[in-house]
Amino acid sequence: MTIDLNDFDSSKVVASDRKHVWHHITQHKPFEQNDPMVIVEGKGMRVRDARGNEYLDAVSGGVWTVNVGYGRESIADAVRDQLVKMNYFAQSAGNVPAAFFAEKLIEKMPGMSRVYYSNSGSEANEKAFKIVRQIAQKKYGGKKYKILFRERDYHGTTITALSATGQFERKNQYGPFTPGFVEFPHCCEYRSQFGDVSDYGVRAALEMEKVILAEGPETVGAVCLEPITAGGGVITPPHGYWEKIQEICRKYDILLHIDEVVCGLGRTGTWFGYQHYGIKPDIVTMAKGVASGYAAISCTVTTEEVFEAFKDDASDRMGYFRDISTFGGCTAGPAAALANMQIIEEENLLENVTQMGEYLLGRLRQLQDRYEVIGDVRGKGLFCGLELVKDRQTREPVDESLPIAIAADCMKQGVIIGRTNRSFEQFNNTLCLSPALIATQADLDEIVEALDNAFARLAPNS
Ligand code: PLP
């Protein structure tokens, strides 16, 4: 039987999905009562499911990915043309879009130099960890092998990326983990662990230094952090935090690895999140927005200095980076990434994100004035979080059932919003918004109106 993807019976697709597809990060039991949502079409910021329901997507494909919006013909055309001409060759050789995208990307990242291609955020981070481990061998006799990560940050789904993740639900039952990964405390000012202090950012960064000292600086090769924590609660860094983190890394000769899988490619109004904070990273990883989900691509980008360590002298048989990712050689990824970047440039989307981000934060703060349950509103660009609390004084988080109910209510109104995952028994109380970078004021008004209605129904001030 030939399957026509443009002409099919929608009840059949739902039945096939229900019978055979194992959905990601999903409890399947509820499907016994309700059909799975099967998305069939998208244009701009809107998607339609197999049942014909239309939604405004306020989370860019559910997980902050479709930065330039759905239905971009220029990306689809670029990918098609490239695939017909040359679809694949192992990345030990080069290919045309990979070379040109690397050049364009490095133009946006002063101080960085080399691009290593793979397929997912987890994989890009794994590459970074392997680079750090190999540098430990090459330069430090194997000693500087430890990698520090932060509580509440997420770095991916493979066992080692999970080893570097500070979220309980994601990790629970998947251990034992890769040795040599060490957690340090998060920097959420709203959840300040030191009370209300004016130098909170510096205090939070010094928590990292304490862990470095406890482990022994001579054993720590790198720290890996999200510039703004995404799934862990949209945690924007407190003032002074990044300067101090950078200073501590320099002091102990520790590589700074920034995970831009969510913030990269314009989400916060600059090409990369770290560029707001004057950070000079050694390694940057990126994935989701690189090609906005039109093709699978991720990049591990390093400085020339990091790359230099791998310019082996020919006498060392093991001196080069002995890593390969088969589909890192698929040309669809960089072809899509080039077209994606062109859209961001031609449509001035960074500027749009900055303006619309301020507008959205302003509207969300108005909601906060009206609903006691909204304890904190935070974000940067089109990347915002609303933390819900039972009491603004004590900041006691609401039960997880409330953000779930608010998201479900918005969905019924035709707006898809996100929320923090359940990793945090306490802090699974944040609603997340990350609309496409093309969002207009009218789109944002529609999102805020849905939230307003949901709060009015489910959490009116009492
Ligand atoms: N890093 C961050 C900050 C993420 O949010 C994610 C995914 O959500 C990843 C890494 C993993 O990316 P992927 O799912 O493409 O492996």
| Domain regions of the chain by residue span | 10-68+348-458, 74-346
**Which atom of ligand 1 lies nearest, measured to the CA of 63?**
8
One of 3.30.420.40, 3.40.1410.10, 3.40.640.10, 1.10.3720.10 is the CATH number of 74-346, namely 3.40.640.10
Q: Is 149 in the pocket of ligand 1 (CB under 6 A)?
A: no
Is the bond preceding 179 in cis, omega lying within 30 degrees of 0?
Answer: no
Distance 312 CA to ligand 1 centre (A): 31
Q: Where are the alpha helices (DSSP H) in 141-297?
A: 159-163, 168-171, 200-215, 241-251
* Joined tokens for residue 20: 């055979």
Q: Is 235 in the pocket of ligand 1 (CB under 6 A)?
A: no
Could you report the predicted ipTM of this complex, rounded to two decimals? 0.99
Strands annotated E in 139-243: 146-150, 181-184, 220-225
State which of 24, 66, 119, 122 you would mutate to test the pocket of ligand 1, scoring each by most atoms of that ligand within 8 A of its C-beta: 122
Calculate the alpha carbon distances from 344 to 20, 101, 436, 459 in Å.
Answer: 37, 14, 11, 38
Q: Is 287 in the pocket of ligand 1 (CB under 6 A)?
A: yes
pTM above 0.95, yes or no: yes
State which of 154, 167, 285, 434 you would mutate to test the pocket of ligand 1, scoring each by most atoms of that ligand within 8 A of its C-beta: 154
Query: 10-68+348-458: which CATH topology?
Result: Aspartate Aminotransferase, domain 1 (3.90.1150)
pLDDT in tens, the chain (462 residues): 788 888 888 889 999 999 999 999 888 887 777 788 899 999 999 999 999 999 999 999 999 999 999 999 999 999 999 999 999 999 999 999 999 999 999 999 999 999 999 999 999 999 999 999 999 999 999 999 999 999 999 999 999 999 999 998 899 999 999 999 999 999 999 988 666 678 899 999 999 999 999 999 999 999 999 999 999 999 999 999 999 999 999 999 999 999 999 999 999 999 999 999 999 999 999 999 999 999 999 999 999 999 999 987 678 888 899 999 999 999 999 999 999 999 999 999 999 999 999 999 999 999 999 999 999 999 999 999 999 999 999 999 999 999 999 999 999 999 999 998 766 666 789 999 999 999 999 999 999 999 999 999 999 986
211 neighbors 148 (Cβ within 8 angstroms): yes
